[in-house]
């Protein structure tokens, strides 16, 4: 079995490797709004959005977010709902909540700028090693190597690394190799170049080795093993969860509830409901869970839709029912943070998570 690093690869060639990579990057880099700025705050926002999300998706979100919250102070003053609304659809909402809380923490110290000390920056909510390395190197040129999915793939092929890219326990192995390669004179450009190489050339499938600026140092290419790297641990099969929810309508208004501010989908809005028990029918589960959450004894009128949505750790199957609440029923929340009765014209004023968006076509004709 090959070792995870190959000492032959980087020795006298380090400088050439870096020069070749940086020369390529200067010509090949894609224009992106966060590459047109040196504002550390904007770079921070972009790096948070880019975690788990494709560049093409992030661009519009980034532009809208920066227009609404152009600096730390403005973000710190914003309402939670307004921040989540601009994140709606990007998923992983804890990223938005952490960014918001971090801005508040800086503003409370009278700061309107991103700390330019990695240690200080790491103290902020949501700032882990990846965000720290990316922001501190790109914004302030600190010599920290960035290791994201694209970089791992490049490293795995360059060094024929036997460890799986999707095993967080061995992240340090990748970090060590990334540190060895890092151009300490130009960490901002070098890190971006490595990420761009993974995105454009050393692609997950059909890498463009003939066009690769570092092909002469690539062990996988030399040994004809490119297709075998990166190694992967078999993914666990994610479970399916069955939920039921109610579209409770009163005078043309729909009852919506807000999830608690922390945890999974924290702060987002949805329809009342909950999980379907084993051997329970979805409509019974709908009635039971709406009662438990809102105190309302609803009756289901019709089945409106079944929507599915896959999150990182489970697949949701959601049965949605049109439901009637008793006349003069009073909402008495147990669990949710808040509730509102809204008209269809207000649907865009609140942040809903993706599964609920998928219900909208069935809800609209009712309202
Ligand atoms: Fe990736 Fe091919 Fe370049 Fe090796 S030569 S780093 S496999 S694109």
* C-alpha Rg value of the chain to the nearest Å: 24
Closest CA to 4 of 235, 167, 203, 209: 167
**325 pLDDT more than 80:** yes
Residue 328: predicted pLDDT: 82
Pairing of strands 240-250, 315-324: parallel
Residue 9: predicted pLDDT: 54
Are 21 and 213 contacting, i.e. CB atoms less than 8 angstroms apart? Answer: yes
**143 pLDDT more than 70:** yes
Closest CA to 188 of 122, 129, 144, 127: 144
Q: How confident is the model at residue 167 (pLDDT cuts 50, 70, 90)?
A: confident
**327 pLDDT more than 60:** yes
Are 186 and 22 contacting, i.e. CB atoms less than 8 angstroms apart? Answer: yes
As beta bridge partners, residue 315 has 240, 310
For 70-87, the pLDDT digits (tens) are 999 999 999 999 999 999
Q: Enter the tokens of residue 177.
A: 């190799």
| Mean per-residue pLDDT, 154-158 | 97
User: Average pLDDT of the chain?
Assistant: 94
Q: Enter the tokens of residue 4.
A: 């995870």
Ligand 1: distance of its center to the CA of 214 in Å?
Answer: 7
Closest CA to 211 of 55, 11, 7, 27: 27
Cα distances from 79 to residues 68, 69, 76, 294, in angstroms, run: 12, 11, 8, 25
Q: Enter the tokens of residue 162.
A: 């036997």
Nearest-atom index, ligand 1, CA of 214: 3
Counting ligand 1 atoms within 8 A of each CB, the residue from 157, 203, 230 with the most, and so the one to mutate, is: 157
**6 pLDDT more than 60:** no
Task: List ligand 1's pocket residues with C-beta within 6 A.
Answer: 154, 157-158, 201-202, 207, 209, 212, 214-215, 218, 220-221, 226
Please state, as a whole number, how many other Cβ atoms lie within 10 Å of the Cβ of residue 347.
18
Q: How confident is the model at residue 219 (pLDDT cuts 50, 70, 90)?
A: very high
Q: How confident is the model at residue 11 (pLDDT cuts 50, 70, 90)?
A: low
Backbone angles phi, psi at 227, to 5 degrees: -65, -15
Closest CA to 310 of 352, 348, 353: 353
Backbone angles phi, psi at 274, to 5 degrees: 180, -165
| Mean per-residue pLDDT, 163-187 | 92
What pTM was estimated for this model as a whole?
0.90
């Amino acid at each position: 079995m090959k070792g995870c690093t190959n000492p032959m690869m980087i020795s006298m060639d380090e400088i050439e490797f870096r020069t070749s990579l940086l020369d390529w990057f200067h010509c090949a880099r894609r224009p992106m709004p966060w590459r047109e700025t040196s504002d550390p705050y904007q770079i921070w926002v972009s790096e948070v959005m880019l975690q788990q999300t494709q560049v093409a998706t992030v661009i519009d979100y980034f532009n809208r977010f920066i227009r609404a919250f152009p600096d730390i102070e403005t973000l710190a003053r914003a309402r939670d709902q307004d921040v989540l609304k601009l994140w709606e659809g990007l998923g992983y909402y804890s990223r938005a909540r952490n960014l918001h809380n971090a801005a508040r923490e800086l503003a409370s110290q009278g700061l309107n700028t991103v700390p330019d000390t990695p240690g200080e920056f790491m103290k902020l909510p949501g700032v882990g090693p990846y965000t720290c390395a990316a922001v501190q190197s790109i914004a302030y040129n600190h010599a920290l190597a960035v290791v994201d999915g694209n970089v791992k793939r490049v490293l795995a092929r360059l060094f024929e690394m036997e460890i799986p890219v999707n095993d967080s326990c061995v992240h340090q192995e990748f970090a060590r190799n990334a540190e060895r390669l890092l151009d300490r004179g130009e960490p901002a450009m070098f890190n971006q170049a490595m990420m761009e190489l993974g995105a454009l050339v050393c692609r997950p499938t059909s890498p463009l080795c003939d066009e690769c600026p570092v092909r002469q140092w690539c062990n996988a290419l030399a040994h004809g093993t490119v297709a075998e790297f990166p190694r992967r641990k078999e993914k666990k099969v994610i479970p399916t969860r069955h939920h039921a929810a109610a579209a409770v309508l009163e005078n043309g208004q729909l009852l919506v509830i807000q999830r608690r501010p922390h945890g999974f989908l924290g702060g987002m809005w949805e329809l009342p409901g909950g999980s379907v028990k084993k051997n329970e029918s979805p409509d019974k589960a709908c009635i039971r869970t709406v009662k438990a959450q809102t105190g309302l004894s609803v009756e289901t009128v019709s089945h409106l839709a079944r929507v599915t949505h896959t999150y990182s750790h489970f697949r949701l199957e959601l049965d949605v029912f049109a439901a009637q609440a008793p006349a003069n029923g009073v909402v008495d929340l147990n669990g949710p943070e808040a509730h509102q009765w809204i008209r269809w014209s207000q649907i865009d004023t609140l942040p809903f998570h993706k599964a609920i968006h998928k219900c909208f076509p069935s809800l609209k004709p009712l309202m």
